[in-house]
Structure 1
């Protein structure tokens, strides 16, 4: 019986001598595997983005150089004492504070701001800068912080206009030849019986609304927000034109730090407070 059981087990599972011994990896396979690892490592080194060291230079230097064009109030302008002040300056100061360095403002004409980044004359640009996809090969944009797009505005005490369609049969003011004028032409096609009234400037279009000369106006977001304390209300945005800051395309670490500051300002309500201070004058 015992011999029969042993025979059955041997036929089913085999003998110990049937177990194949461990065979080490052949040398040729090891060489191929090693070459593969080297190729992957080289590819990662060549193609993964590498930081340009700007953040380290800022900390070593002790200053953050911010490029701006001080001719764009209330974002940046000279005050009576000859100092550059504005919304963008306060934001730049917050970034410098988070880095633990001093803020150095570099006043540059708007057309030269991107060149200043590429020439390393500025570490960061904050200057009412609209996102421009044509520059994304050379610079990296931060998170957005203000929408300067075209908006539809009406008097604050007007409850009859709640959406774009409600301007049917109404008179809408626009600045002659501006983006607002273009949006007004689109509005004429989308809403029945809209009558456009053209003015020399956005400020005069807003005055026409507040003086009840027209029912509504289309103006840029900066002008609209600035006029809110005078009794204006924004009904809707017709277009988006987001302002953001920009860094050199290779300044990855600096970009992360700036975005962290922007997020902190947004979540804490400090960004809203800054915008109220500079855009509404409150």
Structure 2
């Protein structure tokens, strides 16, 4: 029975991989590039008022698809399942969701070159009523992180040894709700997210202290896929033409 179950799981994985392309030739043949993203990381990916997923990452993915001569199909995938399972299983052709390039992840997936330089920071309630600071004020505090993100690794490796309690959330919105309610002292998130929150929800959130760690975001593909090289060509074109800066101005640069 166990062998039969394992065989069934292997067959299912194989069928999933076959159903979705992992190479440029296969993407062009089917005429669509399938993007997986967790639409909860504004301004990188989020659902607009019309319910459609949009953002900085989505526009870059659209440019990759356009250069390949195919349309872009977007699938919402929770971050825990997005990295790396959705890519390694073949459920999607590429993943973008402010995904940090790490040596550990690069063992199982292929990254494009960096397309955005960011940092992990503490998000607190506006006015910082708890007077939370970094690195002086971590011991005895409960810090929120989203599961399977760089923030979780930072929390476990850097903050927990200093006496912080780490609370893991399935989604970023849950962590923000607890920050707003004062149930956690701070939430670890991406620096551009703080700027975006201050624009969308003025008077509710702020950054506390300095940056924890810097990080580079990359587009994610199946291990060894030539789609990574194609994405790099698109990124180079966008930067050379000035369109990359236009996207930065559209989504990230604070007006």
TM-score by length of 1: 0.54
Counterparts of 1:5-84 in structure 2 under 5 Å? 54-84=23-53
Equivalent residue for 1:130, pick from 97, 100, 104: 100
Question: What pairs up with 1:152-191 in 2 under 5 angstroms?
Answer: 173=133, 177=143
Larger Rg: 1
Residue 173 of structure 1 deviates from its aligned partner by 4.7
Greater relative contact order (Cα 8 A, min sep 6): structure 1 or 2? Answer: 2
**Any stretches of 5+ residues in structure 1 without a counterpart?**
1-51, 153-170, 187-199, 205-217
With the length of structure 2 as denominator, give the TM-score of the two structures. 0.59
Counterparts of 1:67 and 1:138, CA distance in 2: 17
Query: RMSD value over aligned CA atoms?
Result: 3.8
Structure 2 residue corresponding to 1:149, chosen from 104, 107, 119: 119
8 Å CA contact 1:147, 1:221 repeated in 2: no
1:105 CA drift (Å): 0.5
Q: What displacement does 1:137 show?
A: 2.0
Q: Which runs of 5+ in 2 are unaligned?
A: 1-20, 123-130, 145-150, 163-177, 183-187
Structure 1 pair 257/276, CA: closer, same or farther in 2 (3 Å)?
A: same
**Equivalent residue for 1:243?**
217
Separation (CA, whole Å) in 1 of partners of 2:194 and 2:117: 11
Note if 1:255 corresponds to 2:225: no
**Superposition deviation, residue 57 in structure 1:** 0.9
Which structure shows the higher helix fraction? 1
Cα shift at 1:221: 2.4
Q: Which residue of 2 aligns with 1:91?
A: 60
CA pair 279-173 structure 1, distance change in 2 beyond 3 A: farther
Which aligned segments of 4 or more residues in structure 1 are displaced greater than 6 angstroms? 178-183
Give me the whole-angstrom Cα distance separating, in 1, the residues matched to 2:195 and 2:234: 23
Partner of 1:267: 240
